[in-house]
């Protein structure tokens, strides 16, 4: 009886499975689209002030006075530091006294030379002594002036490396000064992209770029690429571009990082949805619907990437039909039934990558 019951249950189960209709997989198919478009390339960048210099002591002595503070904005010619000038004041006074003595000696010798009492050579010697004394005065004045350290341009102070009252030696670092009115932003461009840019760029045209800051916000002022370095880096295969950005609000500071966003125009580009692709061992593929609806796995080469889209260098053409939805349900050489074809002009404006 137990055996009969099991047989009945098994038969009923098999009958129910047989009667359940098999779900048919629906495939959505489209084609690559050829059109003019633009692509935004992203480059890691470093932000530098147009002038960023070290302020160093030119004389030895005690730092007598500090007129500024760390992080303060200063104007060209503004006093920043003063080194105790007593020694250099005394040297100037000594030089001035020696110059006065040499002047009197020269004038006396000149009177005697005019009266033919002394030779012309003696007059020339007195003249040379007087000139040397005047030069010593000028040199002492320079040394004394070096005790006043003034801002060479408008800028922002960095931290202090010495404090008031410290003994500083000649060439000791006091602080750093940055001119942030404009910023130089450096980014590296691969050789192929550099060549594409140079070939397509018109004469006297400028390359405009945008700056994405570290907080992912876009800097409000666009920049212009004004300089390209002379040589490629043989190790990386890149060449450095330098973009200049205005910085009227002083938001950017020397040493910041970010991303340069450069928009390039691509003519007659071949575009496919990213969701129509899959990856095997770091290579990209699509499924192409061939004759008799047989699926063919085909490798593609990506020229550029856009949100939800790939620009294709080679592998497919605009006449091919590629599987858009259902790529995880088929394999190479599979034959599919009916599919729905959607015009790429309808597909691409409504794209969003998702995992099936």
DSSP helix/strand/coil, 34 = strand
Q: What Rg, from alpha-carbon coordinates, does the chain have? A: 40
- Kindly tell me if the per-residue pLDDT of 355 is higher than 80: no
Q: What is the pLDDT of residue 25?
A: 67
- Whether 235 contacts 211, CB under 8 Å: no
Q: What is the pLDDT of residue 22?
A: 39
Q: Percent of the chain beyond pLDDT 70?
A: 92
Ramachandran class of 109: left when φ > 0, alpha when ψ lies in -120 to 50, beta otherwise? alpha
Residues in the chain: 356
- Whether 60 contacts 356, CB under 8 Å: no
* 306-335 per-position pLDDT tens digit: 888 999 989 999 899 999 988 888 899 988
Q: Where are the domains of the chain?
A: 23-37+268-350, 40-50+181-266, 59-176
* 69-96 per-position pLDDT tens digit: 999 999 999 999 999 988 888 898 999 9
Q: 40-50+181-266 has which fold? A: Elongation Factor Tu (Ef-tu); domain 3 (2.40.30)
Q: What is the pLDDT of residue 184?
A: 97
- Kindly tell me if the per-residue pLDDT of 352 is higher than 80: no
Q: Percent of the chain beyond pLDDT 90?
A: 55
16 vs 207: which has the higher pLDDT:
207
- Kindly tell me if the per-residue pLDDT of 9 is higher than 80: no
* 116-144 per-position pLDDT tens digit: 888 888 889 989 999 999 999 999 899 88
Q: What is the pLDDT of residue 260?
A: 96
Angle at CA 197, nearest 5°, toward 195 and 202? 120
Q: Round the average pLDDT of the chain to a whole number and report it.
A: 86
CATH hierarchy code of domain 59-176: 2.40.50.100
Contacts of 144 (CB under 8 A, 6+ apart): 85, 88, 89, 91, 92
Q: Which of 126, 156, 339, 167 is nearest to 249 (CA)?
A: 156
Q: What is the pLDDT of residue 112?
A: 87
- Kindly tell me if the per-residue pLDDT of 27 is higher than 80: yes
* 187-242 per-position pLDDT tens digit: 999 998 888 888 877 777 788 999 999 999 999 999 999 999 999 998 899 999 99
d(CA 325, CA 347): 11
* 248-293 per-position pLDDT tens digit: 999 999 999 999 999 877 888 899 999 999 999 889 999 999 888 8
- Whether 241 contacts 225, CB under 8 Å: yes
Domain 23-37+268-350, classified CATH 2.30.30.100, yes or no: no
Q: What is the pLDDT of residue 13?
A: 43
What is the pLDDT averaged over residues 171-184? 95
Q: What is the pLDDT of residue 115?
A: 83
- Going by the DSSP 8-state scheme, the letter that residue 168 receives in this structure is E
């Amino acid at each position: 009886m137990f055996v009969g019951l099991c047989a009945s249950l098994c038969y009923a189960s098999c009958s129910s499975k047989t009667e359940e209709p098999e779900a048919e997989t629906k495939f959505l198919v489209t084609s690559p689209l050829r059109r003019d478009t633009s692509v935004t390339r992203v480059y890691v960048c470093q932000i530098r002030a147009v002038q960023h210099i070290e302020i160093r002591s030119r004389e030895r002595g005690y730092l007598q006075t500090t007129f500024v503070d760390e992080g303060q904005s200063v104007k060209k010619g503004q006093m920043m530091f003063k080194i105790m000038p007593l020694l250099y004041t005394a040297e100037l006074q000594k030089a001035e006294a020696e110059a006065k003595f040499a002047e009197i000696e020269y004038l006396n010798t000149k009177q005697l030379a005019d009266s033919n009492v002394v030779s012309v050579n003696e007059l020339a010697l007195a003249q040379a002594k007087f000139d040397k004394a005047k030069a010593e005065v000028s040199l002492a004045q320079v040394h004394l002036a070096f005790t006043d350290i003034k801002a060479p341009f408008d800028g922002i102070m960095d931290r202090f490396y010495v404090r008031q009252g410290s003994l500083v030696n000649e060439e000791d670092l006091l602080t750093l000064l940055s001119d942030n009115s404009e910023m130089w932003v450096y980014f590296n461009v691969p050789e192929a992209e550099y060549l594409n840019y140079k070939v397509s760029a018109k004469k006297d045209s400028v390359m405009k770029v945008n700056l994405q800051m570290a907080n992912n916000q876009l800097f409000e002022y666009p920049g212009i690429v004004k300089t390209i370095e002379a040589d490629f880096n043989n190790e990386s295969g890149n060449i450095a571009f330098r973009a200049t950005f205005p910085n009227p609000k002083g938001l950017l500071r020397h040493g910041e990082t970010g991303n340069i966003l450069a928009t390039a125009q691509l003519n007659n580009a071949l575009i496919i949805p990213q969701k129509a692709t899959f990856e095997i061992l770091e290579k990209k593929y699509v499924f192409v619907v061939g004759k008799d609806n047989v699926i063919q796995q085909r490798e593609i080469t990506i020229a550029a990437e856009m949100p939800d889209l790939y620009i294709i260098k080679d592998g497919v053409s605009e006449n091919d039909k590629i599987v858009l939805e259902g790529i995880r349900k088929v394999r190479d050489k599979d034959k599919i039934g009916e599919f729905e074809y959607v015009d790429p002009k309808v597909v691409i404006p409504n794209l969003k990558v998702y995992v099936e």
